[in-house]
Amino acid sequence: EGAMWTAGARQPGLVLAALAALGLALEVLVARRRRPVREVLFFPSKPSCTEALLAEAASPDDAPVPCPCPLPRGDCAFSRLLRHLLSARRSLELCLFAFSSPQLGRAVRLLHRRGVRVRVVTDAQYMALKGSQIGLLRHAGIQVRHDQESGYMHHKFAIVDRKMLITGSLNWTTEAIQNNRENILIMEDAEYVQPFLEEFERIWEFYDPLKYMFF
Amino acid sequence: EGAMWTAGARQPGLVLAALAALGLALEVLVARRRRPVREVLFFPSKPSCTEALLAEAASPDDAPVPCPCPLPRGDCAFSRLLRHLLSARRSLELCLFAFSSPQLGRAVRLLHRRGVRVRVVTDAQYMALKGSQIGLLRHAGIQVRHDQESGYMHHKFAIVDRKMLITGSLNWTTEAIQNNRENILIMEDAEYVQPFLEEFERIWEFYDPLKYMFF
């Protein structure tokens, strides 16, 4: 029997305290490492200049060129959304009822050029509307699929690198971003992300153009 | 020194095992007690009979009267939404762009009659549309406020007893429930619920009819 356990026998409180401290330290370490993104954003978001964000994402090594536009810079709901989106390194799934924001369109094309695997599901009735970004995405070579049902494909979610979910009431239109009362959640809790990933794959397969029936 | 600690000194493994078991038991107890609701529901939801759910919520002491309608019973996304909503005991905040589902309208009026404090915020353009439940809610004595802005009040969230958030893409219309691809999250994580509570209070104050300007 070691000295420690003999000491423990004499002072059981010490052993308990040491064990508790060890447990706490481990818990703090694990919590710090795994702390998921958990953010709630509300809109409308004031018009703001996002050139710096987009330019930095496009060529991180270049010196920033200041944008001459008069819009305010700085943090706002929209810039935070854009920043999270631009953090994608491997994959991006988009499931969007309406997508006409030119800034978000640029961001998605930029990610595609950077080698991120982008897949888009959208609503057939809305994708042909004026200002839709869907045509530009397809021109850029991004895969897009759409519903062929009578109901709307009304989701508004994105999944970044299969681990961050962006979802809420916000359609990706400038109108909604700047004028509507909207919310989005940005979350990395697997319990929420996983079902959305599975739903995306289901919808993606269901909308495979080879299966379109043109009824 | 007690016999246990003397035994512990001779068999330290036993003490460790006992401590580990105690820790695990405590953890399970705490987790069970605090385990928050975390649910993701996808729509469309098949048409289903919700009479039993509504009748039970209206008069929990009465024997159930079987509904003669031919719709299937049982669990579905819509019945789960309804069940969570009907769990309200003290308060219900609704912030809804469109609200025309007769079943959800009945549920909200029922909660109001049961003494739950119901407050509704909605969109001015949409509340006057055919089939809107807003008029019926007001007739029942429920407080309703609406935006007076050019943008949409496009939120679709509910907060039950200030601790459960229901939010997503789903407007509370039969069309959306039965025909659209939609999602809702049902969550009790304070990190998500709290910002929505604060947003509701902000909007509620902002839409105070005493402050309407009729511009």
CB contact (8 A) between residue A155 and residue B167: no
pLDDT band at B87 (very low <50, low <70, confident <90, very high): very high
CATH code assigned at B105: 3.30.870.10
Q: How far, in whole angstroms, is CA A118 from its chain's centroid?
A: 12
Which residues of chain B make contact with A181, given a CB cutoff of 8 A?
A: 147, 149, 151-155, 203
Q: Is residue A84 part of a domain?
A: yes
pLDDT at residue B176 greater than cutoff 50 = yes
First to last CA, chain A: 81
Active site residue B156: yes
pLDDT at residue B9 greater than cutoff 80 = no
CB contact (8 A) between residue A176 and residue B152: yes
Q: Which two tokens stand for residue B13?
A: 């493994």
**Owning domain of residue B133:** 37-52+72-210
Asked whether A97 and A152 are in contact (CB, 8 A), the reply is yes
Q: Is residue A130 part of a domain?
A: yes
pLDDT at residue B8 greater than cutoff 60 = no
Q: Is residue B19 part of a domain?
A: no
pLDDT band at B46 (very low <50, low <70, confident <90, very high): confident
Q: How far apart are CA A178 and CA A71, in angstroms?
A: 13
Q: How far apart are CA A115 and CA A108, in angstroms?
A: 11
Among A155, A156, A163, A189, the one annotated catalytic: A156
Q: Is residue A113 part of a domain?
A: yes
pTM (two decimals): 0.84
Give the pLDDT confidence score for residue A37 in this predicted structure: 96
CB contact (8 A) between residue B151 and residue A19: no
Average pLDDT for chain A:
90
Q: Is residue A141 part of a domain?
A: yes
CB pairs under 8 A between A and B: 126
Q: How far apart are CA A158 and CA B51, in angstroms?
A: 36
Q: Is residue B6 part of a domain?
A: no
- State ipTM: 0.83
**Segment B6-15 long-range contacts (CB within 8 Å, at least 24 positions apart):** B6/A9, B8/A5, B8/A8, B8/A9, B8/A12, B9/A1, B9/A5, B9/A6, B9/A8, B9/A9, B10/A1, B12/A1, B12/A5, B12/A8, B15/A8, B15/A15
| Angstroms from A99 CA to nearest CA on chain B | 15
Q: Is residue B1 part of a domain?
A: no
Q: Is residue B10 part of a domain?
A: no
Q: How many domains does chain B have?
A: 1
Could you give the angle at the alpha carbon of A89 between the alpha carbons of A84 and A94, nearest 5°?
60
Please write the tens of the pLDDT for every residue from B112-165: 999 999 999 999 988 878 899 999 999 999 999 999 888 999 999 999 999 999
Please write the tens of the pLDDT for every residue from A52-96: 999 999 988 888 888 889 998 888 999 999 999 999 999 999 999
